[in-house]
Chains A and B, each alone.
Chain A
């Protein structure tokens, strides 16, 4: 079947409250026929109870009880739809500043970000924040949707003005690919179908853009990194001496016969085979889950990383990172946390807050050093042992980490190594 070639595309939505995120997602699902009759019926009932006329498509994504009662999105909600060309995973995240951490979470795995702007209001503080987060998390593609065009008479001038406002500040950000689209989520203009109200817009509608976006080239195929998750020793007939290193390729390409180095020990060996239950493979790449066997018997365990001799991550015990603080209780100066980086875990201490960033204005704040919930800062961190790191810009998986508070076991921060 044709479908077997289809890729998965993960995207996140950002916008401030009432810009129409939930409506847009509801519209995408509705027009691509991903909403079932019983779901629609439930939404119709709720809409009627609340006194809305027609169906409020936003209700489809606003899942939890409190959210439906307050009419806002407070967590990340995941939604799915499939077209003949692709499968999509949407991370619908709330827009308020107090949910910055939710946006960061949704952005961490996204191939693309949709940033919504209300055409009546143009670029506002929040737009800058959302663009900042998208660039901080290195989402490769940004689509700026200028929504509610129906409320500005589908005016090309309004649209062009907003693009200019956006480009004024986005030039300071590092983003690979930005596109703009005039839409009406409520009526469906340029969402799945081309708008008949905006002949001046020559580009494709949103869904087509998402379906055809080039994402295979976003994968890092250069730096071979294989964090070992667990060691498989079946010790059963046929596999008595089998010792396989199970994990998921983080980046790069591995083949049997490759000369590899095991970090942190530095031992070298050659890949004997790359196994799966369906047979051995001649070539593997991210994000494949496989099991690697080596020609030599070396002591390897969870947390180690298999890499290639001529291209290695840096073993660092002290480095700088952009950190987003997630927890209600602020960071404690010089307190110890557990740092989780790939499959490796160490203790770590935040040595210094270099500066905090005002994510609305991009201004650096060097006086106030307290890291509170939703703050984003550049920090220096020190770990008990070296971690095998890459810069986040080069490698989203070997350049990222989270901090866990040992007293509560909560994930309190997420970091991107610079």
Chain B
């Protein structure tokens, strides 16, 4: 075989770098949406590569639900220091305190939907014209239709039926004042690709992704971590399990799985044998079959 071809991870990397550079060239004020999860860590790593030897030329934006894993915040602050870039925090707690949103009530209350308002406010207040996200098309069926450059109207809304076509590698980021874009450089990566690449590049990730002992409660078919925000229901009991997380989000709804995988090698092997999607452990997606599409239309990540 010819030596002039890339393996698939190199091709995905090259595509992501291309998209990140297009964002920089086409927008005035882009940011990386940083959640502390592996996908946004990956995007940040790719941005480092895209602009080397320059620093990443734009800030990171963290939409903070207030329901964090302490490890996530520590990780975020260390990374910011290492990169020497600016951090912008949009606080859901502040949105609640200022009456922009009301906290959900009831057993399955989450701050997930509230993040939309906080995010859109942060975008507007900071005059952000492109928010780069770690969304992947394999995560969820509504995400499967996302463009690399995805238009949002001046209400921050997505119109999946009226998207701009993307041909070859030509990306159209033109927009009117008040509108913005979401850019998804790792659209074409699967969970497996992400882990294989993290392992190959030896990218630092929060310890939460590796198996560790933790106090948890069995709820909605997964292990929800005990935290100051968790209200125990009747019949629920706290147990200590060896678990790890496949995604990281709001600590009140991010379920872990029982696992012995405490190295990247073991995680890759475990993910390869997985029978459930990673979002299968997130109760926010279980609400209805089109839960993600409905949230995305309104401006969700």
**Once the chains bind, are A216 and B1 in contact (CB under 8 Å)?**
yes
User: A268 contacts the other chain (Cβ, under 8 Å)?
Assistant: no
Residue interface bits B186-222, CB-to-A below 8 A is 1, else 0: 0110101100100010000000000000000000000
- Interface presence of A346 (CB below 8 A): no
Check if A409 sits within 8 Å of B53, measured CB to CB. no
Q: Which of A7, A42, A248, A275 contacts B169 (CB 8 A)?
A: A248
Residues of the A chain whose Cβ atoms lie less than 8 Å from the Cβ of B53: 232, 234, 236, 238-239, 242, 244, 275, 277
- Interface stretch of the complex, out of B28-36, B44-52, B105-113, B255-263: B44-52
B15 at interface by CB-CB < 8 Å: yes
Q: Do most interface residues of chain A lie in helix, strand or loop, or is the interface mixed?
A: mixed
- Residues in B256-301 with C-beta less than 8 Å from chain A: 274-277, 280, 289-290, 293
Given contact pairs A38-B277, A289-B18, A397 touches B142 in the complex (Cβ within 8 A): no
Contact with B along A348-360 (1 / 0, CB 8 A): 0000000000000
A232 to B49, CA, bound (A): 12
In this assembly, does A326 line the interface, its C-beta being within 8 Å of a C-beta of chain B? yes
- Contact size range, B: 35 or more
- Give A34 to B225 CA distance when docked, in angstroms: 29
What is the minimal beta-carbon distance from B125 to any residue of chain A, in angstroms?
24
Q: Any chain B CB within 8 A of the CB of A396?
A: yes
Complexed CA–CA distance, A214 and B301 (Å): 38
Which chain A positions have C-beta within 8 A of B190? 80, 82
Could you give, for residues 1-36 of chain A, a 1 whenever the CB lies within 8 Å of some chain B CB and a 0 otherwise?
A: 001111110000000000000000000000000001
* Cβ–Cβ < 8 Å partners of A161 in chain B: none
Contact A219 B5 (CB under 8 A): yes
Main secondary structure of the interface of B (DSSP, over half): loop
Would A411 and B7 count as touching, CB distance under 8 A? no
Kindly state whether residue B91 has any CB partner on chain A within 8 Å.
Answer: no
Residues of A within 8 A of B170 (CB): 340, 400-402
* Cα–Cα distance between A101 and B5 once the two chains are bound (Å): 30
* Stretch of B65-73, B127-135, B171-179 at the chain-chain interface: B171-179
Which interface residue of A61, A74, A87, A238 has the most chain B CB atoms within 10 A? Answer: A87
CB-CB contacts below 8 Å: B139-188 with A? 141-142, 144-145, 160-161, 163-170, 172, 174-176, 187-188
A residues near B277, Cβ cutoff 8 Å: 36, 38-39
* Proximity string of chain A (313-329) to chain B, C-beta cutoff 8 Å, 1 when within and 0 when not: 00000000000001000
| Distance in angstroms between the alpha carbons of A255 and B170 in the assembled complex | 26
Is B247 in the interface zone, CB < 8 Å from A? no
Q: Check B21 for interface membership: any CB of A closer than 8 A.
A: yes
B167 touching A77, Cβ below 8 Å: no
Provide the residues of chain B in CB contact with A404, threshold 8 Å: 172, 174
Let me know if A217 and B160 touch, CB within 8 A. Answer: no
Q: How long is the Cα–Cα vector from A291 to B188 in the complex, in angstroms?
A: 23
CA distance A89 to B12 in the complex (A): 11
Are B165 and A411 within 8 A (Cβ)? yes
Contact B163 A75 (CB under 8 A): yes
Assembled-state Cα–Cα distance A277/B54 (Å): 10
Residue from B10, B48, B145, B174 within 8 A of A277 (CB atoms)? B48
Contacts of B8 in A (CB 8 A): 6-8, 86-87
Asked if residues B49 and A276 are in contact (CB atoms below 8 Å), the reply is yes
**CB-CB < 8 A to A326: which residues of B?**
165
Task: Known A4-B9, A288-B6; judge A66-B161 contact (CB<8 A).
Answer: yes
Can you pick out 9 interface pairs between chain A and chain B where the beta carbons lie within 8 Å of each other? A7-B11, A36-B280, A39-B277, A78-B144, A216-B5, A229-B21, A248-B18, A289-B14, A410-B164
